[in-house]
Amino acid sequence: MTNRIMHVLPEKCVGCRICEQWCAHSHGHMVSPSKTNIRVVRIHHQYRNVPVVCRQCGIPACIDSCKFGALSRDVKTGAVLVDQQKCTACRLCVRACPYGAVNYDTREKTVRICNLCNGAPQCVMHCPEQALEYRDGDSITDEYRYRAVAKRG
């Protein structure tokens, strides 16, 4: 299994929502916010836009919460996959996700989670501000450690 994960840089996001459009389009849906696995949330009081997408957690709370075995990990990409045949739309996974990245489509009564576009996330490729990255998980951990050490002097 790959060790690549989705990394969000909210300080770069301008709220254009192109990531949402490409996500919906690449999954064969109309370009609609209700058909996307990523969404941009505007935090007005902080003047920030934050892309909310599955981070492909090491130990996914969503998979652990599913009582019906509808969620699994893709061996090739590491993405969390939803088996719509097994999913009862109970939304336990929605509540379990610490990032709020599991979406529920109220019209179709289905759960949506980023599947990383089979290892080539379209949202990452088409983000004009490069606010989304699909990169090696270890490099992100190393970067956080470096920043923490640099802050302390």
* CATH number of the domain to which 138 belongs: 3.30.70.20
Is residue 118 pLDDT above 70, yes or no?
Answer: yes
Number of folded domains that form the chain: 1
Q: pLDDT (tens digit, 9 = 90+) per residue, 67-113?
A: 999 999 998 888 999 999 999 999 999 999 999 999 998 888 989 99
In the chain, % helix, strand, coil (3-state, to 5) comes to: 35, 20, 45
Give, in order, the Cα–Cα distances in Å from 70 to each of 89, 105, 108, 111, 118: 10, 16, 16, 10, 18
Q: pLDDT (tens digit, 9 = 90+) per residue, 63-79?
A: 999 999 999 999 888 89
How much is the average pLDDT of 105-134?
93
Q: What is the 3-state secondary structure (H, E, C) of 12-58?
A: HCCCCCHHHHHHHHHCCCCCCHHHCCCEEEEEHHHCEEEEECCCCCC
* Residues spanned by the domain of 13: 4-152
Is residue 144 pLDDT above 70, yes or no?
Answer: no
